[in-house]
């Protein structure tokens, strides 16, 4: 008599990559258990609720909406049944000074007019810049992004090789941008999306102008209720797909015998499965969860990795409305390059930081009590810096003073809730390597097959997903990462569902 062999999988970590991997494996017939140490899913995209305020703790930009939409479509769902997406207009505003603010309209034609008003002819040059950026975006999404990154041969197809020069992999982003624009304000706007990639614009490949296409052409969106609603949508889909989610469960060790994981030791007991996928911090899994000497990489390898930034975040509730703010606000009064150098070159706490302020209550009344304001402030910082209460207070005072000065309204006495979150918190909550917030830097030497591998070299049933492996950091790449590892596992002979006698 023939019967189906049901393969089982354990996924560690319920961030977007873990949720994506769990849903994708369940769709391929695996019995999946998703293990999460916190009391909610989402990973870095957890939600904080205090005194009537709902704060997104991590991601706050909703770019590349087609990635999540396509994921749900592949699983026979429409994301519209889970989310209410609103396109923001303006997409965001960039603040260069008290009387010098540029709001970027959602309409591309209106944006060209803004560029022309700053630098005559810049609108037409934006067309040419975006034409190249669009080519890079479409080529990357159709060729590079969905590869498992296991071997150089993945990049040796005719399509990939034919696009190599057009992708501008050997030219710096800074040099590329300066071929089109001269005004310093426009350059800061164009260079802003690469600030979090892990190097200055002088050292990031021009290939990443694809991010400007995602920003300008695909638009900035917002899920009503906050980014946590996207987490909720993925969690609901996971449950509908049959995934067993174990919250408040910490993985303590991975037990190995020969070339296999034989058990996942948690604070709730031992779990077993045919396949283990770690969506936890890669370094943490590799160096701390695995037995000594069984890591995929040596300590020296990790010491040489170039990390993307960490960040210092403040969550604040204000008892009244504040004038002058949009949903997304970039305070770029200070030198973008000087701040980037403090992150990537020295590294040190920036003397005159740039910062980002999100005020979702301008769009969404549900994230703050009536008549109040929800503020999320983020300062990009170098990973691995020591953060003390004094340092956190120093930078809070600095950003509040700058914000109050810009708004012409000193609201500091009206702050009714405040919490900070920095490098040490990323380590404590996510076991983040060097307290990173955004994974590895997207340098040429850490791209595609040069990133940490999605499979373990000697342990046959251990795989990895998330921002430290392909395709990289960010919500859309995390979603893609989970799909990539699930697709790879499903094609491996050892895990193909078979009929047995």
CA distance 277 to 140: 25
Contact in structure between 70 and 78 (CB atoms under 8 Å): no
| pLDDT value of residue 37 | 98
CA 341 to chain centre: 21
Higher pLDDT residue, 306 or 247? 247
DSSP 276-345: EEE-S-HHHIIIIISPTT--SS-HHHHHTPPB--EEEEEEEEESS--TT--SEEEE--S-HHHHHHHHHT
Q: Does residue 26 sit in helix, strand or coil?
A: helix
Confidence at 159, pLDDT banded by 50, 70, 90 = low
CA distance 207 to 217: 16
Percentage with pLDDT > 90 across the chain: 80
Confidence at 493, pLDDT banded by 50, 70, 90 = confident
Is the pLDDT score of 498 beyond 60? no
Higher pLDDT residue, 170 or 5? 170
CATH code, residues 3-45+59-82+226-305+444-500: 3.50.50.60
Q: What is the pTM of this model?
A: 0.95
| pLDDT value of residue 144 | 80
Torsion from C-alpha of 452, 74, 76, 244, nearest 10 degrees: -10
Average pLDDT over every residue of 272-292: 98
| pLDDT value of residue 155 | 64
| pLDDT value of residue 3 | 43
| pLDDT value of residue 153 | 66
| pLDDT value of residue 202 | 84
| pLDDT value of residue 4 | 52
Range from 69-73, 177-181, 253-257, 350-354 carrying the lowest mean pLDDT: 350-354
| pLDDT value of residue 168 | 85
For domain 109-218, is the CATH number 1.10.8? no
Mean pLDDT (the chain, rounded):
93
Is the pLDDT score of 233 beyond 50? yes
Q: Does residue 459 sit in helix, strand or coil?
A: coil
Contact in structure between 265 and 254 (CB atoms under 8 Å): yes
SS (H, E, C) 471-493: CCCCHHHHHHHHHHHHHHHHCCH
The H or E element that residue 361 is part of is none
Going by C-alpha positions, the residue among 118, 115, 117, 120 that lies closest to residue 130 is 115
Domain ranges of the chain: 3-45+59-82+226-305+444-500, 109-218
Is the pLDDT score of 451 beyond 90? yes
| pLDDT value of residue 1 | 30
CA distance 9 to 25: 8
Confidence at 2, pLDDT banded by 50, 70, 90 = very low
Range from 178-187, 443-452, 462-471 carrying the lowest mean pLDDT: 443-452
Residue that has been written with the tokens 């990049």 in this structure: 155
pLDDT per position as a tens digit, 391-448: 999 999 999 999 999 999 999 999 999 999 999 999 999 999 999 999 998 877 888 8
pLDDT per position as a tens digit, 53-66: 999 999 999 999 99
pLDDT per position as a tens digit, 123-142: 999 999 999 999 999 999 98
Confidence at 499, pLDDT banded by 50, 70, 90 = very low
pLDDT per position as a tens digit, 219-231: 999 999 999 999 9
- State yes or no: cis peptide before 80, omega within 30 of 0: no
Terminal alpha carbon distance of the chain: 5
| pLDDT value of residue 170 | 80
Is the pLDDT score of 160 beyond 80? no
CA distance 284 to 287: 5
Higher pLDDT residue, 457 or 194? 457
| pLDDT value of residue 341 | 73
Please work out, in degrees rounded to the nearest 5, the angle formed at the alpha carbon of residue 477 by the alpha carbons of 483 and 281: 85
| pLDDT value of residue 165 | 64
Average pLDDT over every residue of 62-88: 98
């Amino acid at each position: 008599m023939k019967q189906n062999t049901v393969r089982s999988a354990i996924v560690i970590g319920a961030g977007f990559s873990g949720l994506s991997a769990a849903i994708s494996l369940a769709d391929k017939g695996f019995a999946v258990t998703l293990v999460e140490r916190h009391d909610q899913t989402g990973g870095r995209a957890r939600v904080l609720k205090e005194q009537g305020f709902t704060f997104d703790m991590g991601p706050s930009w909703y770019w590349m909406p087609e990635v999540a939409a396509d994921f749900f479509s592949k699983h026979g769902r429409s994301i519209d049944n889970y989310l209410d997406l609103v396109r923001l207009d303006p997409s965001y505003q960039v603040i260069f000074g008290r009387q010098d603010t540029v709001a970027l309209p959602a309409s591309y034609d209106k944006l060209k007019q803004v560029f022309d008003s700053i630098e005559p002819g810049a609108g037409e040059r934006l067309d040419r810049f975006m034409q190249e950026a669009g080519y890079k975006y479409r080529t990357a999404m159709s060729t590079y992004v969905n590869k498992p990154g296991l071997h150089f041969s993945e990049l040796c197809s005719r399509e990939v090789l034919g696009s190599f020069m057009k992708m501008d992999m050997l030219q710096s982003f800074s040099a590329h941008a300066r071929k089109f624009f001269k005004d310093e304000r426009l350059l800061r706007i164009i260079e802003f999306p690469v600030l979090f990639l892990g190097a200055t614009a002088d050292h990031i490949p021009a290939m990443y102008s694809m991010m400007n296409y995602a920003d300008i052409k695909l638009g900035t969106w917002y899920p009503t209720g906050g980014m946590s609603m996207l987490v909720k949508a993925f969690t609901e889909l996971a449950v509908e797909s049959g995934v067993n989610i174990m919250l408040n469960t910490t993985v303590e060790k991975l037990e190995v015998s020969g070339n296999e994981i034989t058990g996942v030791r948690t604070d709730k007991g031992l779990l077993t499965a045919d396949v283990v996928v770690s969506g936890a911090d890669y370094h943490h899994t590799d160096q701390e969860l695995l037995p000594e000497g069984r890591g995929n990489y040596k300590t020296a390898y990790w010491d040489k990795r170039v990390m993307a930034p960490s960040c210092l975040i403040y969550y604040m509730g204000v008892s009244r409305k504040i004038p002058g703010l949009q949903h997304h606000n970039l305070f770029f009064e200070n030198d973008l390059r000087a701040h980037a150098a403090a992150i990537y070159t020295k590294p040190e706490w920036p003397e005159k930081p740039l910062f980002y302020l999100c005020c979702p209550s301008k769009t969404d009344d549900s994230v703050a009590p009536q008549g109040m304001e929800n503020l999320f402030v983020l300062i990009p910082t170098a990973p691995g810096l020591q953060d003390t209460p004094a340092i956190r207070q120093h930078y809070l005072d600095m950003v509040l003073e700058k914000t109050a000065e810009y708004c012409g309204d000193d609201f500091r006495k009206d702050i009714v809730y405040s919490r900070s979150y920095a490098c040490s918190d990323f380590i404590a909550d996510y076991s983040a390597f060097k307290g990173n917030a955004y994974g590895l830097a997207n340098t040429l030497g850490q791209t595609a097959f040069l990133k940490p591998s999605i499979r373990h070299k000697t342990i046959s049933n251990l795989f990895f997903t998330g921002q430290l492996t392909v395709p990289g950091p960010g919500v859309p790449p995390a979603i893609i990462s989970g799909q990539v590892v699930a697709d790879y596992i499903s094609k491996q002979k050892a895990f193909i569902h078979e009929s047995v006698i």
